[in-house]
């Protein structure tokens, strides 16, 4: 019985149990996964970005940086929360996959998995989810790595929203998703560096 419990625990050691609590740890995880180099953005987090996936019939799953999740948990759309902020917003949330079609040959990366702005915290004291008052530029898309690929990194980033964001014309809901560049986007739209982030690994669905 104990052995079985241990096995279950080892199989899903982190689901819902561990969340990011340390900026230094998130920064370390980004570095260990080569994320700043991959997406050409420095990462000096000032706040924790919490990304939580609702799961039908089970407890929601909140990411910690670098967690590998079964694809079925990632249907989303996720909820976002910000811990440690001095400002209620507005914020921009972006999620990108830099590993398309594979981490070894990311020839069509990045693919945006979410891009939205005008996110606000209702309160700096009570932990509430971010809510946005405009439609996202591109809505959340579930990870879909191709069969045979190693797991992809799905990177969520939080930015202070810039004045130019609402008027940006680089991306809209009908834009091609291929070859997105979050660094170039952030620079053009004036977002600067991310103030928070986290990421998950998702592999192809096991073939049945
Ligand atoms: C983001 O905004 C907050 C609050 O206005 C400010 O303290 C912080 O320095 C900003 N961060 C960056 C990277 O601009
Ligand atoms: C954005 O566009 C609106 C409407 O065209 C304009 O009133 C506003 O000044 C623009 N804002 C910026 C920051 O360019
Ligand atoms: C959407 O963005 C594309 C470029 O990605 C542009 O060619 C197109 O005109 C834009 N559509 C609208 C409705 O703004
Ligand atoms: C993305 O844009 C940055 C500039 O912000 C550039 O250095 C980098 O090479 C671009 N990445 C790709 C894959 O084009």
- CATH number of 164's domain: 3.90.280.10
| Long-range contacts at 39-42 (CB < 8 A, ≥ 24 apart) | 39/96, 39/98, 39/110, 39/155, 39/182, 39/183, 40/181, 40/183, 41/157, 41/182, 41/183, 41/186, 41/193, 41/194, 42/193
pLDDT at 11: 44
pTM of the predicted structure, to 2 decimals: 0.89
Please report whether residue 163 resides in a domain.
yes
pLDDT at 172: 86
Please report whether residue 208 resides in a domain.
no
Please report whether residue 207 resides in a domain.
no
Q: Is 183 in the pocket of ligand 4 (CB under 6 A)?
A: yes
- DSSP letter at 54 equals E
Instruction: Give the count of domains, the chain.
Output: 1
Please report whether residue 78 resides in a domain.
yes
Tens digit of each residue's pLDDT (9 = 90 or more) over 60-118: 999 999 999 999 999 999 999 999 999 999 999 999 999 999 999 999 999 999 999 99
Residue in this structure with the two tokens 């967690």, named with its chain if needed: 67
pLDDT at 208: 52
Please report whether residue 155 resides in a domain.
yes
Q: Is 118 in the pocket of ligand 1 (CB under 6 A)?
A: no
Please report whether residue 120 resides in a domain.
yes
Pocket test for ligand 4, best of 99, 183, 188, 191 (most atoms within 8 A of CB): 183
Ligand nearest to the CA of 173: 3
Q: Is 85 in the pocket of ligand 1 (CB under 6 A)?
A: no
**Residue 187: domain span:** 2-202
Distances (CA, A) of 23 to 50, 91, 104, 140: 12, 18, 28, 25
Distance between CA atoms of residues 155 and 149, nearest Å:
17
| Residue 84 and residue 145 in contact, taking contact as beta carbons nearer than 8 Å | no
- Atom 3, ligand 3: which residue's CA is nearest? 175
**Ligand 3 residue neighbourhood (C-beta within 6 Å):** 171-172, 174-175
Task: Give the chain's residues under pLDDT 70.
Answer: 1-18, 207-208
Ligand nearest to the CA of 169: 3
- 204, 189, 18, 14: which is closest to 94 by C-alpha? 189
């Amino acid at each position: 019985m104990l052995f079985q419990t241990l096995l279950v625990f080892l199989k899903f050691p982190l689901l819902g149990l561990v969340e990011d609590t340390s900026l230094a740890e998130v920064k370390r995880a980004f570095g260990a996964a080569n994320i700043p180099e991959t997406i050409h953005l420095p990462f000096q987090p000032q706040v924790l970005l919490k990304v939580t996936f609702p799961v039908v019939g089970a407890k929601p799953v909140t990411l910690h940086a670098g967690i590998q999740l079964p694809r079925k948990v990632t249907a989303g759309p996720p909820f976002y929360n910000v811990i440690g902020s001095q400002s209620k917003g507005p914020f921009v949330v972006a999620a990108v996959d830099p590993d398309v079609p594979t981490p070894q040959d990311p020839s069509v990366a990045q693919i945006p998995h979410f891009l939205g702005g005008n996110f606000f915290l209702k309160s700096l004291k009570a932990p509430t989810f971010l809510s946005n008052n405009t439609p996202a530029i591109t809505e959340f898309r579930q990870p879909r790595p191709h069969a045979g690929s190693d797991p992809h990194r799905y990177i969520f980033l939080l930015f202070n929203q810039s004045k130019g964001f609402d008027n940006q014309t680089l991306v809209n809901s009908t834009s091609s998703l291929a070859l997105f560049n979050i660094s170039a986007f952030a620079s053009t739209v004036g977002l600067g560096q991310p103030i928070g982030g986290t990421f998950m690994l998702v592999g192809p669905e096991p073939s049945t």
